[in-house]
């Protein structure tokens, strides 16, 4: 696909994206310079303006959807991508189901702490980053959770009749996203984040847009098979972390030292859910409905 074709295609970007998602079957970044994240002050507050970018090349979606596990046991941390992302079996999910179905509330608590967590990764352009101005105007990958994805869905299908749908990923008719981070009741909160009014990126300068389009990071690589360990290897590591006892819990762990911090691949964006699997509406279900309504 050349850039001219891509530009013409953007006119129906929401319906096209929805249709592709309708037919779709439903990495680890420790210190990966491709990734951007807002820097928070001592009060866990932060602010930045970013622009979500569209899919490029042969990729059909402007985001990668990844399930992962991140928890600590007697034998250390278990931080791995969950193979259910690819529709494969996961030993942690199997153990969680066994615990959940035992009927014991204590088992459910353990399962909640090990449940798979859903995250999304998109290409973004940093428009404003007051804490790190050197990032402004640069391309990054951005990993985010359900709260921010909800904002994207709300923009694509607004709740009120006087609001027009916006494809946040569109170069020409998308919108900058004001990321406002606060700490509420001990948890990181994104509720005040919002999209600005729609505007063309780079004032619609095709040369600049094409250069950006060609330089975006591959999202397909993030969910390639080599980003996921095989079942046997995961099961062995899981056993090492929990001591081969699926009921080993955080209560059995010696208190961490002050230097022990939450690994960067463990998301703190969302509090623990009340069920072992994701109870929120799946992103694909949302776009499937959107495609049907626009057909």
For 121-139, write each residue's pLDDT tens digit.
999 999 999 999 999 999 9
Which DSSP state fits 233?
A: H
Token pair belonging to 54: 């569209």
Token pair belonging to 271: 């509090």
Q: Which of 28, 146, 14 is closest to 80 using CA atoms?
A: 28
Q: Does the pLDDT value for residue 154 go beyond 90?
A: yes
**Are the beta carbons of 62 and 17 closer than 8 angstroms?**
yes
How many Å apart are CA 68 and CA 118, to the nearest integer?
7
Q: Does the pLDDT value for residue 286 go beyond 50?
A: no
Mean pLDDT of 230-245: 93
Residue 186, sorted as left (phi over 0), alpha (psi -120 to 50) or beta, turns out to be left
Residues 6 or more apart from 52 whose CB is under 8 A from it? Answer: 62, 122, 123, 124, 142, 152, 168, 169, 174, 177
Sign of CA dihedral 214, 220, 225, 231: positive
Q: Length of the chain, please?
A: 295
Q: pLDDT tens digit string along 67-80?
A: 999 999 999 999 99
Sign of CA dihedral 15, 16, 21, 27: negative
Burial class (CB in 10 A: 0-12, 13-18, 19+), 269: middle
Task: Give me the chain's average pLDDT, please.
Answer: 83
How many Å apart are CA 42 and CA 185, to the nearest integer?
15
Q: Please report the beta strands in 30-73, taking only residues with DSSP state E, as ranges in sequence order.
A: 46-52, 64-73
**Are the beta carbons of 142 and 16 closer than 8 angstroms?**
no
Q: Does the pLDDT value for residue 290 go beyond 60?
A: no
Q: How confident is the model at residue 204 (pLDDT cuts 50, 70, 90)?
A: very high
3-state class of 173 per DSSP?
A: coil
Q: Which of 117, 146, 148 is closest to 276 using CA atoms?
A: 117
Token pair belonging to 131: 């804490």
Does CATH place domain 3-294 in 3.40.1400.10?
A: no
3-state class of 255 per DSSP?
A: coil
Q: Does the pLDDT value for residue 254 go beyond 60?
A: no
Mean pLDDT of 83-110: 96
Q: Does the pLDDT value for residue 211 go beyond 50?
A: yes
More confident residue, 264 or 144: 144
Token pair belonging to 115: 């449940």
Give, rounded to a whole angstrom, the gap between the first and last alpha carbons of the chain: 25
Percent of the chain at pLDDT exceeding 90: 67
Residues 6 or more apart from 200 whose CB is under 8 A from it? Answer: 171, 172, 173
Token pair belonging to 240: 């090492």
Q: Does the pLDDT value for residue 47 go beyond 90?
A: yes
């Amino acid at each position: 696909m050349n850039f001219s074709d891509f530009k013409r295609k953007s006119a129906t970007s929401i319906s096209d994206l929805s249709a592709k998602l309708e037919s779709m079957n439903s990495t680890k970044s420790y210190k990966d310079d491709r990734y951007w994240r807002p820097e928070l002050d001592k009060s866990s507050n932060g602010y930045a303006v970013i622009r979500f970018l569209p899919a490029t090349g042969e990729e059909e979606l402007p985001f990668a959807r990844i399930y992962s596990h991140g928890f600590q046991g007697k034998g250390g941390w278990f931080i791995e991508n969950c193979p259910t992302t690819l529709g494969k079996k996961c030993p942690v999910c199997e153990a969680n189901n066994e615990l959940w179905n035992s009927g014991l509330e204590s088992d459910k608590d353990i399962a909640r702490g090990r449940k798979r967590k859903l995250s999304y990764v998109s290409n973004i352009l940093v428009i404003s980053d007051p804490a790190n101005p050197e990032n402004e105007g640069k391309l990054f990958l951005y990993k985010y959770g359900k709260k921010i994805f909800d904002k994207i869905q709300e923009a694509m299908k607004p709740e009120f009749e006087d609001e027009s749908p916006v494809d946040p990923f569109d170069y020409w008719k998308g919108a900058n996203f004001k990321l406002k981070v606060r700490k509420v009741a001990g948890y990181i909160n994104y509720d005040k984040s919002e999209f600005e009014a729609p505007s063309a990126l780079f004032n619609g300068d095709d040369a600049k847009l094409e250069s950006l389009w060609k330089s975006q990071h591959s999202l397909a690589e993030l969910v390639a098979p080599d980003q996921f360990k095989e079942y046997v290897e995961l099961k062995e590591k899981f056993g090492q972390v929990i001591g081969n006892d699926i009921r080993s819990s955080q209560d059995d762990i010696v208190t961490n030292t002050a230097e022990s911090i939450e690994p960067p691949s463990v998301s703190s964006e969302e509090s623990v859910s009340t069920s072992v699997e994701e109870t929120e509406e799946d992103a694909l279900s949302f776009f499937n409905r959107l495609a049907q309504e626009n057909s």
